[in-house]
Structure 1
Amino acid sequence: MTTDAWLAQLTAAAASLSGWELVAVLLGVAYLLLAVRESLWCWYAAFASTAIFLWLFWQVGLLMESALQVYYLAMALYGWYQWRGGASTPAAASLQPLPIGTWPVRHHLLAVAAILVASATSGFLLERHTDAMLPYVDSFTTWGSILTTWMVARKLLENWLYWLVIDSVSIYLYLERGLFLTAALFAVYLVIVVFGYRQWRKQYHLQCTSG
């Protein structure tokens, strides 16, 4: 593809961007920045962004990604509750916030194996029985995100490393389906994820020292 053709394609894509996609992207960035700061408000941004993406992904035939958004909605509520230390009132939450934790290597090996098996299984079923686009890639980002979102809700340090892989693959997926602004969002995510890992690791070491 020539440079002129590529620029023409980008111009056409920009003109077709949905206003709702822009709102979802901005809320998605807000969610991640707030998560880096361990702010409870990240879950409010996550819930609103997810509701919009649920509709967008359904419109472009990413069935697994659409199903994933339903899970995200539930996890936004779960994460909000967990980050409050499982407390039902703000006063109690401020006394016992959820600390950052970590996993042993064996847990990561089991987690990666489970993601790959689940991705291969659902990818095969989607390819055989639906008109889903890129079923194996879609499945990988979906199952990986399911686990990693739970890791965020539990404040596990390594969630940021998982997101590095998942977000990189997601960029390819969204570019293929013409969701250019969403792909750009995930490129921004990659930068924030690196910063988030460093910030959480520093906080984790402070916890260990003070504990």
Structure 2
Amino acid sequence: MNEISEGLLQGLHEMTGLEAVAVLFAVLSVIFQKKNNILVYPTGIISTGIYTYLLSREHFKLYADATLNAYYLVMSVYGWLYWAKKGPQKTPIKITRSTKTELLTAVIIAVAGWGIFYLLLVNFSDSNVPVMDAFISAVACSGMWLLAKRKLENWILLNISNFVAVPLLFYKHLYLTAFLTIFLFIIAIFGFISWRKTVQQEEISHS
């Protein structure tokens, strides 16, 4: 416990302005996500852009996580455009449950992504945590794809990624980002409950 406290204090002392901005906008992004607010994307773009740079630095060597954040950035642009899109009644695209095809696609993205990330890390990087780094990134990629399509199940996949990421971040002494991830995990639980309630109300109104 003392080591974690000391690490947190050291992290606060060494935290760069960029990391502070990334953490702030990551918190804002997940709060907007819970509220089903399109501002999840511009705030997310700022945070992921900064993390892409920070995590790729040689000191951390979390190359898959850096690539994941680059993917987040691209998907944030796609999601922003998709959420702004109007449906048949000129209303925003609604939150819905994933279809069987979409869930299957999400699983394929996660499994295939894990394998691809792992092979790339083992063969083309000096990562010392290729299995966990690859898994976290692949599952999060899958979750981000469902988020961009405004699917309820995105929260489940993103939280699996968050759950596995926490011990890895502590291992890498990224204490601030680890505590941020714990916060995101908690918010995601409430986000899932809130989105599920919205979906259930929509289903009842059409039953």
Deviation at 1:109, TM superposition (A): 5.3
- 1:19 aligns to 2:17 (yes or no): yes
Aligned counterparts of 1:95 and 1:106: Cα–Cα separation in 2:
26
- 1:82 matched to 2:82? The reply is yes
Contact 1:13–1:180 (CA<8 Å) still a contact in 2? Answer: yes
Residues 82 and 65 of structure 1: is their aligned pair in 2 closer, same or farther, counting only changes over 3 Å? same
In structure 2, the residue matched to 1:36 is 34
Q: 1:188 aligns with which of 179, 183, 189?
A: 183
Report how many aligned residue pairs link the two structures: 204
More displaced stretch, 104-113 vs 185-194: 104-113
Deviation at 1:7, TM superposition (A): 4.1
Separation in 2 of the partners of 1:100 and 1:156?
6
Query: Whole-Å Cα distance in 2 between the matches of residues 5 and 203 of structure 1?
Result: 42
Structure with larger Rg: 1
Q: How does 1:144-183 map to 2 (within 5 A)?
A: 144-183=139-178
SS in 2 for 1:77: helix
In the aligned structure 1, how far is the partner of 2:201 from the partner of 2:2?
A: 52
CA distance in 1, matches of 2:94, 2:2: 52
Q: Which runs of 5+ in 2 are unaligned?
A: none
Q: 1:150 to 1:125 in 2, by over 3 A?
A: closer
Amino acid at match of 1:75: M
TM-score normalised over the length of structure 1: 0.86
TM-score where L is the length of structure 2:
0.88
Gaps of 5+ in 1: none
Shift of 1:110: 5.7
Alignment of 1:89-104 (within 5 A): 95-104=90-99
Alpha carbons 1:167, 1:189 under 8 Å: kept: yes
Instruction: Give the whole-Å Cα distance in 1 for the aligned partners of 2:128 and 2:67.
Output: 14
- Equivalent residue in structure 2 for 1:205, among 182, 192, 200: 200
Q: 1:117 to 1:78 in 2, by over 3 A?
A: closer
